[in-house]
Amino acid sequence: MFEIVRGKLEKPQKVVLYGPEGIGKSSFAANFPQAVFIDTEGSTNNMDVARLTKPTSWTLLMQQIQYVKMQPDIKTLVIDTIDWAEMLCVDHICAIHSKKGIEDFGYGNGYVYVKEEFGRFLNQLSDLIEAGKNVVLTAHCQIVKFEQPDEMGAYDRYQLKLGKKTSSQTAPLVKEWADMLLFMNYKTYSVATDDKGKKNKAQGGIRTIYANHHPAWDAKNRHGLPDEIPMDYGYIAHIFAENPQPAQPQPQPVQPAPPQAPEPIAQPEAQPVDPFPTVEPPALNPDIPQALQDLMLTHGVNAEEIQAVVSQRGYYPMDTPIANYDKGFIEGVLIGAWQQVFGMIETLRNELPFE
């Protein structure tokens, strides 16, 4: 039977913060509850925030999202910034299809592949919402010429600064995905001219959040926020407040304590066993590309295991060092299809564990 549910459903929020560089997007995002950053461009290096290591590949970024999903103490994931994440996506698509650039696909196919992969990325972020975590994406902005079909003339407006060629594919996906799209900018109060009426000079500079759509920028929210609010997290904090605590149980009558049994003779306390002992990461050849090194270290894979599965598939002889593999093979197969590669390694481990 179907059930009709009425009322507002309280869920975590999908938030996009965008604006010019240096406006304070990262600092603002750090205020969200129990936030952890995936810093794709190193913009939080001088900030005291919790972060995962900078992802050096699209594959590693997707695995970091899955890791965050499994951590109950993390309440907000911040990806800073989404435009740099998109570049990882483009590199990934080019690598797995053995292309040097997105234009090499021809007929716009490359942009379609990027759009599809970016859609899967947003779906993974939506899974975090279902797991009870907020997701915040930061992005830079750009000024583009815009012309409405039913209007005369064109005008400038601010938009998400995604790839110059891919933006028309991925930007709409991000805007549709978001519950809140907040534009941050310096508010200009007036434009003054000199005594000759020729030179114009902007006056103002208060950092402001624009929360609703305007002809000059994209913005939206579903919480009745005013058009403009100061760039202070306190103005939106109520949206992300923790759910009220459940009612406490009523105290029960105190029962008289039973007679105490003689205390047993103390036994030596057993030493606790760490279920996740620290394992020294395998030493890797520094000539192996950093993106592959990061995946190997994350999963505790050594070079011998990589060489074994590669030789098993007939790509290179067992004694060929990874550093000598073709760059396209490393990026398109070992990194681009890491899940399958790691699956073969796990199979080999079960059959013949490596020392």
pTM of the full structure:
0.76
Q: Give the pair of three-digit tokens for residue 236.
A: 């939106």
Quote the pLDDT of residue 279: 44
pLDDT for position 209 = 94
Please say whether the beta carbons of 40 and 81 come within 8 A.
yes
Question: For residues 269 and 67, is the Cβ–Cβ distance under 8 A?
Answer: no
Residue 171, both tokens: 């930007």
Give a yes or no: residue 257 inside a domain.
no
Spatial CB neighbours of 61, under 8 Å, sequence gap ≥ 6: 38, 40, 55, 85, 88
In-domain check, residue 136: yes
Specify whether 158 is located in the same domain as 24. Answer: yes
Residues 26 and 123 in one domain: yes
Residue that terminates a domain, selected from 182, 205, 240: 240
Short-list 35, 163, 155, 154, CA closest to 88? 163
Domain that holds residue 342: 290-351
Low-confidence ranges of the chain (pLDDT < 70): 1, 148-153, 164-167, 189-204, 242-283, 352-355
Same-domain pairing of 212 and 78: yes
Q: Is residue 254 part of a domain?
A: no
- Structural domain contains residue 322: yes
Total domains in the chain come to 2
How distant, in Å, are the alpha carbons of 67, 216, 299 from that of 279?
Answer: 19, 54, 11
221: number of Cβ within 10 Å: 20
Q: Which domain-ending residue is among 204, 224, 240?
A: 240
pLDDT of residue 192: 57
Boundary of a domain, candidates 240, 271, 300? 240
Beta bridge partners of 15: 136, 180
Same domain, 80 and 223: yes
For the segment 253-294, what is each residue's pLDDT rounded down to a tens digit?
Answer: 555 555 555 555 555 555 554 443 444 555 677 778 888 888
Query: Does residue 195 fall inside a structural domain?
Result: yes
For 133-145, give one letter per residue: b (16+ CB within 10 A) or e: bbbbbbbbbbeee
Domain co-membership, 133 together with 44: yes
Express each pLDDT in 26-45 by its tens digit: 999 999 999 999 999 888 88
Tell me, yes or no, whether 65 and 193 share the same domain: yes
β-partners of residue 188 are 204
CA distances from 116 to 109, 125, 162, 230 (A): 11, 15, 15, 36
Rounded to whole angstroms, the Cα distance separating 93 from 111 reads 9
The pLDDT value recorded for residue 298 is 83
- 60 and 120 assigned to the same domain: yes
Query: For residues 156 and 146, is the Cβ–Cβ distance under 8 A?
Result: yes
Q: Please, are residues 80 and 28 in contact by the beta-carbon 8 Å criterion?
A: no
pLDDT recorded at residue 195: 60
What is the pLDDT at residue 50? Answer: 92
Domain match, 298 and 206 both:
no
Rg of the Cα trace of the chain? 27
- State the average pLDDT for the chain: 81
Q: Which residues contact 294 (CB under 8 A, 6 or more apart)?
A: 53, 55, 56, 57, 60
Residue 322's contacts (CB-CB under 8 Å, 6 or more residues apart) are 285, 288, 292, 303, 306, 307, 330
Residues 312 and 167 in one domain: no
Statement to judge: residues 209 and 294 lie in one domain: no
Is 36 contained in some domain?
yes
**Per-residue DSSP letters for 199-250?**
-EEEEEEEEEEE-S-BTTB--B-SS---SEEES-GGGTGGGGPPPPPPPPPP
E strand or H helix at 50: strand 50-52
Rounded-to-integer distance, Cα 104 and Cα 123, Å = 27
The answer to whether residue 8 sits within a structural domain is no
- Alpha helix locations (H) across the chain? 25-29, 58-69, 82-96, 109-130, 167-177, 290-299, 303-312, 327-329, 338-351
Q: What's residue 167's pLDDT?
A: 63
Q: List pLDDT tens digits, range 175-192.
A: 999 999 999 998 876 555
Question: Contact, 129 vs 15, CB < 8 A?
Answer: no
Q: Is 132 left (phi over 0), alpha (psi -120 to 50) or beta?
A: left
In-domain check, residue 147: yes
Question: 305 with 221, same domain?
Answer: no
Same domain assignment for residues 162 and 83 = yes
pLDDT value of position 248: 41
Which CATH number belongs to the domain containing residue 149 in this structure? 3.40.50
